[in-house]
Amino acid sequence: MSVAALETPMMQQFLKVKAQHPDAIVFYRMGDFYEMFLADAELAAPLLDIALTTRDKGKPDAIPMCGVPVHAADGHIKRLAELGHRVAICEQVEDPRAMTGRRLVRREVVEVVTPGLVGDPDGIDGRTLVALVAIWWPEEGADANGRRFGLAMLEASTGDFRATELDVDAAVAGSDEALPDALLQELSRIAPREVLVPAPALDRCRAALASLPGPIVVTAAPASAFASLRSSEAWPGIGQGSDDPGTRAARAVANYLAENQPFAALRPPALSRYALADTVVLDDATRRHLELFENSEDRGRSGTLIAELDLTACALGARRLARWLAYPLRSPRQIAVRQEAVESLVERDRLRGRLREAIAGVRDLERLLAKAMRPGAVPRDLGALRASLRALPQIVAALRDEDAAPGGAWLGSEPRAAGRLEAPEPLPELLELLERALIDEPPVIARGSRGAQETGYVREGYRSDLDALRESASKGREWIAGLEAEERERSGIPGLKVRFHPVHGYAFEVSKSQLAKVPADYERKQTLANVERFSTERLREVESRVMGANERAAKLEREIFDALRERVAESSEPIRAAADRVATLDALASLAEVARRKRWVRPVVDESETLEIKAGRHPVIESVLGRRGADGFVPNDTRLDPAGTQILLLTGPNMSGKSTYLRQVALIVLLAQIGSFVPAESARVGVVDRVFTRVGASDRLARGESTFMVEMRETAEILSQVTRRSLVILDEIGRGTSTFDGLSIAWAVAEHLHDARGGEARTLFATHYHELVALAESRPRIQNAHFEVREWNEEVIFLRRLVPGGASRSYGIQVARLAGLPPRVIERARTILQDLEAGSLPGGASKPRASQARDGQLFLALEPKRSRRAAAEARTLDALRQIDCNVITPLDALTWLARAREELARAAADEGEEGSA
């Protein structure tokens, strides 16, 4: 490409902008399009699936370019940001129509959209967060205070700005290895789109963050960004003199926002602090295994706990409820406050219904505020904000309902007063201003658009000078219409019409067949295929008055609109406060509605170490069974206590309900600690500090980790971090390796959880290694239990009822038959099982057994072959030991005896046939 192609004024202006934003794709405004040039165009065109063309097409030095219409740009910008790119939006900051001469229109970058800083929040699901995070940590050799990491998070479209600190061992804080586990866990919980890190740690962070789910863009920030605020304006919650890690990280976020979206930093959201020690730790494995936010089938929302809880009426409440579930509380007092509010709504159906109806009138106040503060805001945005402000007094009125309390005692001024619900503060002055200023249905008008559509959204009567301009323009148009009739009569041309063109203005239009009648004072203005257009001195005079009035009216309306936007921005703090209260009320009302519909109960949450649930049910599966019209969910009890039954060891068949039960207990605990009611007859939950889960099989082949390696890593993390207040859910340990290896690991893990000082966590341990039931004989706080089944004509009936004692069989072959394995395979499996239980391999070979190690290596020895009759007798005796005579009914006892007798007889007959042969 020749130098001359880049030396035009327009390209010189583009290149100057590009030099200021070399790492961004520049959206360069040209009329009704955003154009991209050179490498930006070559990069963006295939990503956006738009045509790549050239400027000065056909010339050897043509410049690559592509473009998108202004009205459709936001979707394309979001797409590029989601793919990890930055987009610099370069706008025309002068009106081309007001310019004289051939000077180039001045353009400036008004906003940079990054993966973590969204532009227009339209099109983003109300439940979805787009988070920007900054991480700060000390350099090597820092003092004791420097061993704390700082983390700050901003969701720019909602104004959610938070910071926290993490205490990390000095050796980890000063090393160049992976980031601390606690920091990665919090990042996983936030799921940021973009992470700011100190420039020297860029490579280290990219490698460490690769383990987190979802694409994350890591951006380097200079050390100065963490040291002080670049803006002279005060930022609420960020002290210039403070050097704690959380503040340092928050400064980096604030500086990044001010640099890329300066309009948002003019009225910044206040920084709030949170402590991880105040909430239950839920790592990525736990959230995934318990299906809190995504199901394991398609990573969708269906079948998750949040889907069951979310009956919110607006996006504000949906996001607040999701945050509560992501950060369950650990303080019984704070939990009780939330429970009191939920209970008061559960008990008052009429109040709850009126409140939810009023909240439904509130749109996404947080994101509407963010949109109104953007340069590209349109009148419809303020109209939507106005509609939400109208709903606030209705919420206050609902809380003063006569069913609430005499004198409106529900409206508490103290946020943490038990049983009190905080009403949002209405903003009557702002609402009244918007009502007077805007018409009922404001249009969508793109900034910088042309034509009459720019006007008409300010209500008549709001400004007398605007009304005068509109009247002048209207009278001018009426005069022009009268001039049309006058000119028809004067010229004798019956088809003469007055036409308007946005570029050429007003003109008399005459068909070519009537051109001979055109008066001599007509001046040709435009020639078309079938008509000619003319102007006259009188028409130009009136056109000047009409067009001038229109342009002045449009300019005045834009000034009025900008003043309204500024007034909204000045009210940003009370608007955010109102949105916060609406979000809390909506989330509380949702929990109350769920509790009322599903007959959940309020649990007792205290500082004890007891976990006691009577007739607990799985909140999601119970709902699914109800929708399918199947038999009701079978409830089960739970009691765990580090001083009593610390570990409940579950054995028994596949499909009997073990996995459901494990998850059910964990979900009930989490529900209790977010302040929700729970699916049970009663529950007492001694607060847990963390929920650990090891469930199912998954691999990470891209990282070179097999299923068994992932299982062992998750188990290792549990054992290294568990405390006495934790809740541990283990659904099979050691199944990814050989039987003896797996049994040994599972045995050792159970012993460790029982014996470790300070780590005696309440544990549910499900396993198919029936040998583990022997642990209850040597470990007093391990108790055996299993889910009851019945056999009938070789059919297995799952009763889903948890009973004491261990199980001796897993009924895997019966479950395989239910799954549809061919009958021939099932019968062969039965034969092989009989051989193995008798002590031999298929074909008569003796079964290998583990022997003593020689020189550190295990070898296999042959164990004596045991008769089938002896094996059957051993199984029957073992099953007899597990029977609880205080529980079993006479009918069940007779059934069991008949089955045992039949099995013994069959084994004796098989052995006799084998001896005769």
User: Is residue 848 within a helix (H) or strand (E), and if so which, with residue range?
Assistant: strand 848-854
pTM of this structure: 0.82
Residues 204-227 have a mean pLDDT of 85
**Lowest-pLDDT range of 90-94, 173-177, 226-230, 494-498:** 173-177
**Lowest-pLDDT range of 187-201, 309-323, 705-719:** 705-719
Rounded CA separation 879/883 (Å): 7
Question: What pLDDT, on a 0 to 100 scale, did the predictor assign at position 408?
Answer: 38
User: Is residue 812 within a helix (H) or strand (E), and if so which, with residue range?
Assistant: helix 812-819
DSSP structure string for 584-650:
HHHHHHHHHHHHHHHT-BPPEEESSS-EEEEEE--HHHHHHHHHHT-PPP--EEEEE-TTS--EEEE
Residue 863 pLDDT > 70 = no
**Lowest-pLDDT range of 156-165, 173-182, 477-486, 494-503:** 173-182
Question: What pLDDT, on a 0 to 100 scale, did the predictor assign at position 898?
Answer: 78
Residue 209 pLDDT > 60 = yes
Q: Which two tokens stand for residue 25?
A: 């794709």
Q: Residue 392's closest CA among 358, 422, 415, 365?
A: 358
**Lowest-pLDDT range of 2-16, 606-620, 680-694, 895-909:** 895-909
Q: What is the pLDDT of residues 292-314, one digit of tens each?
A: 999 888 888 899 999 999 999 99
For 798, residues 6+ apart whose C-beta sits below 8 A from its C-beta are 653, 655, 656, 657, 787, 789
**Lowest-pLDDT range of 5-9, 278-282, 668-672, 850-854:** 850-854
Count of beta carbons in the 10 Å neighbourhood of residue 119: 23
C-alpha 42 chain-centroid distance = 33
Answer with the residue of higher pLDDT: 433 or 181.
433
Q: Which two tokens stand for residue 554?
A: 């449009």
pLDDT bracket for residue 689 (50, 70, 90): very high
Q: Which two tokens stand for residue 850?
A: 């583990």
Residue 553 pLDDT > 50 = yes
Q: What is the pLDDT of residues 383-423, one digit of tens each?
A: 999 999 999 999 999 998 644 443 333 444 333 444 578 89
Question: What pLDDT, on a 0 to 100 scale, did the predictor assign at position 213?
Answer: 76
End-to-end alpha carbon distance in the chain: 94
Residue 792 pLDDT > 60 = yes
